[in-house]
Amino acid sequence: MLADLWSRNAILQCSHNRESLTFVGALYFGSVDDDAVFDPTRLAPLSAQIKLKIKPDTSAERHLRRPISIPRAGNLPHFALVMELGTEALHENGSNVKTTISSPVSDEEFYGCEKTLRDAQKQLLELKVKKAKEPDIDVQKKKVEEKQQAMNACNRYLVSIRGASPNVYSILEEAKIAHEFQNFLGMVSPLAVNSEDEIQSMMPLRQLNRDTPYTTWMRRFYDGS
């Protein structure tokens, strides 16, 4: 999928109103010379989360993770971006922008972290298959989450931005769209907060079952004819 995104200069929008991921892009660490051969194994994901909450989300960085369906191609850097457009609150460093760069890790350390996560996930699955007690399953779930967060942070470059003004995004002034961008945010922010009843969830390939909320919008739709 990353190769498709890269070749089309595109990003993939994910499900609405999810706390972990908004869209995915592709970064290429291979040569871009005219005579270079394209190597898809040198592609890495760019994971991003956009929020419109008025209050800052202190857990946003922790929840942001790479797409489960896109395996990391070896020990390539993983870039992550958090954009909190609804708040001007400063980070603990006194700025609207905070960067977090993990310490460099060797290939051995990277694959060791990856194996630790797989082992924890396997143990959790075994507990569920054996129908173990809920407290035991909960403990293992917590271990999996800890290993997952460690894996997410492994060789990760994170940029967390709060605010939506030209002071934060100077490109708005350069493109002369600062006013238009603020108007746009003013229109979509209320919708993002109160969207469940109005638009419901529209997800492709969901089973059309009248007992699920995924087709509620269809039953309520009226075209005026």
And the tokens for 121? Answer: 């996930």
For residue 151, what are the contacts with CB-CB under 8 A and spacing of at least 6? 113, 114, 117
| 86 within a domain of the structure (yes/no) | yes
Per the structure, the count of domains in the chain is 1
* pLDDT computed for residue 72 by the predictor: 67
> Using an 8 Å Cβ cutoff, are 29 and 76 in contact?
yes
Q: Is there a domain that residue 174 lies in?
A: no
Whether 48 contacts 25, CB under 8 Å: yes
The answer as to whether 200 is a domain residue is: no
Sheet containing 97-101, strands listed edge to edge, beginning at the edge strand earlier in sequence: 12-13, 23-28, 43-51, 78-84, 156-162, 97-101
pLDDT of residue 148: 84
| Residue 208, in any domain of the structure | no
**Among 121, 116, 113, which residue's Cα sits nearest to residue 153?**
113
CA distance 171 to 176: 8
Does residue 189 belong to any structural domain of this protein? no
* Confidence (pLDDT) at 214: 52
Which two tokens mark 154?
């492994």
Q: What is the pLDDT of residue 176?
A: 93
- pLDDT value of residue 156: 85
The phi and psi torsions of 84 (rounded to 5 degrees) equal -100, 95
Instruction: Tell me, yes or no, if the pTM score tops 0.85.
Output: no
- Tell me the residue type at 122: K
- Which residue segment(s) compose the domain that 83 sits in? 2-163
pLDDT in tens, the chain (225 residues): 888 888 888 888 876 655 556 888 888 988 989 899 999 888 888 888 888 888 888 888 877 766 655 666 677 888 889 999 888 899 999 999 999 888 888 888 888 888 999 999 999 999 999 888 999 999 999 999 888 888 877 888 899 999 999 989 999 999 999 999 988 888 776 555 555 544 444 444 444 555 555 555 554 544 454
What is residue 100's three-state secondary structure? strand
- Rounded Cα–Cα distance for residues 64 and 46 (Å): 11
**What's at 213, amino acid-wise?**
P
Q: Residue 26 falls within a domain, yes or no? A: yes
Picking from 89, 98, 84, the residue whose alpha carbon sits closest to that of residue 158 is: 98
How many CA atoms does the CB half-sphere of 30 hold within 13 Å?
17
Q: Within a 10 A sphere around the Cβ of 9, how many other Cβ atoms?
A: 8
Q: Give the pairing of strands 23-28 and 43-51.
A: antiparallel
The CA distance from 14 to 161, in Å, is 20
- Give a yes or no: residue 138 inside a domain: yes
